[in-house]
Amino acid sequence: LSLHDALPICMDKTYFHTKIYLMMTLLSFIVIYNHALNVELFIGINDHSSTIARLEETIASIGQMAVAGFFMVSGYLFFRDFTIKKLPLKWKRRFFSVFIPYVVWNGLYYLGYFIASRLPFWTEIVGKGKISFSIHELPSILLHYRYNYVFWFVFQLLLLIGISPLLYMGIKNRIVGICFIILLSFVIYYKINIIYINEDAIWYYTVAGYGALHAQEFIEEKISISRFVFGLFFIFLGIFTFYLSEALSSVLCIVLSRFFGAFGIWLSLFCPFSYTLPNLFQRSFFIYAIHFSFIRIINKIGARFLPHTQLFAGILYLGMPIYIFLLANLCAEICRHICPRFYRILSGKRP
């Protein structure tokens, strides 16, 4: 998730950073849609036939490609221009940009739940009863995202960063790397369990790392009509493979569909300028870290005070990425001005 290591080949440095930030912002919007489902609150837990229910389920299903996209961007940036000699520097940067924010955000979520569970109105919004404080459970809470469920992704990413030297051994050679990816595909196909790390996460991270090592020129080629069409082809291939996975009940097809979708978005993403984006487009990590709590608050307050109709459920759901984007950036700006050092910790030294 860090851009410190990105040095251009086909794209100039600013253009590459700009496209990465746009990609991460778009993926953040999709993830927000994945978590913003509100039909149960507005219409009922058993409603699956209404228009808004079908819409939300469809978007959430196809939108899982965003998770694949985050792993792919992270893997690509880690292995971009990678050598073993650069490993200590890569690990050091991600210690401050990923691990430290991971621990601090987990602590903040625990503290937030602890306080909210003792306030009458917020207890209902949180819906967890009274949260107790235990010094003995604190290490587990800080390291294992117990009160910050969406950080399962960051936990997986930390594990992948930790085993990156082993993955590098598998993909540093072009031919051996293809065989290694095929091996990982068999692991997914036959549902072989890997301890702690999700098999699909390893696959996305490794394939992107292989692309960084052996196909950087193609991946970073600037947009053209043919490239845009090629990207659309991968997006539709991803949708087709998704529905094929349902027919075949194939986990590997699901993984491929999400890969095709995320890769297609990258290829077809139009970036018309080559200048540094405003800070609000560079805060995908901060948005990811805070979005779930805002979604929960907005949906529950909305369900409490708004009419329980498809119209209001749809207004909240379809507008949720914009609401969260603006609220998260407002919080970021306030924190950055009031306590800049703490903000740099929360953001992993990002803008």
CB 260 within 8 A of CB 68: no
Average pLDDT over the chain reads 91
Two structure tokens written together for 95: 């210690």
Q: Which residue has the higher pLDDT, 9 or 214?
A: 214
**Model confidence pLDDT, tens digit, residues 180-232:** 999 999 999 999 999 999 999 999 999 999 999 999 999 998 888 999 999 99
Which whole number is the average pLDDT over 298-311? 93
Rounded-to-integer distance, Cα 42 and Cα 302, Å? 9
Residue of 213, 209, 221, 276 lying closest to 9 (CA atoms) = 221
pLDDT at 233 over 90: yes
CB 322 within 8 A of CB 295: no
pLDDT of residue 11: 58
For residue 108, what are the CA distances in angstroms to 124, 289, 329?
Answer: 19, 10, 18
For residue 120, what are the CA distances in angstroms to 109, 115, 131, 237, 299?
Answer: 18, 11, 13, 49, 18
Give, as one character, the DSSP assignment of residue 10.
S
Q: Is 161 exposed, middle or buried (0-12, 13-18, 19+ CB in 10 A)?
A: buried
Which whole number is the average pLDDT over 166-188? 98
**Model confidence pLDDT, tens digit, residues 155-165:** 999 999 999 99
pLDDT of residue 1: 52
CB 32 within 8 A of CB 66: no
Query: Which DSSP helix (H) or strand (E) runs through 168?
Result: helix 164-171
pLDDT of residue 4: 44
Cα–Cα–Cα angle for 316, 320, 323, nearest 5°?
A: 110
Rounded-to-integer distance, Cα 32 and Cα 325, Å? 9
SS3 content of the chain, % helix, strand, coil (to 5): 75, 0, 25
pLDDT at 61 over 90: no
**Model confidence pLDDT, tens digit, residues 141-152:** 899 898 899 999
pLDDT of residue 9: 42
Here the contacts of 173-178 (C-beta below 8 Å, separation 24 or greater) are: 174/214, 177/210, 177/213, 177/214, 178/210
Give, as one character, the DSSP assignment of residue 221.
P
Look at 37-46, 214-223, 272-281, 333-342 and tell me which has the smallest mean pLDDT. Answer: 272-281
* Band of residue 50 on the pLDDT scale cut at 50, 70, 90: confident
Rounded-to-integer distance, Cα 258 and Cα 96, Å? 29
Percent of the chain whose pLDDT exceeds 90: 75
Q: Is 223 exposed, middle or buried (0-12, 13-18, 19+ CB in 10 A)?
A: middle
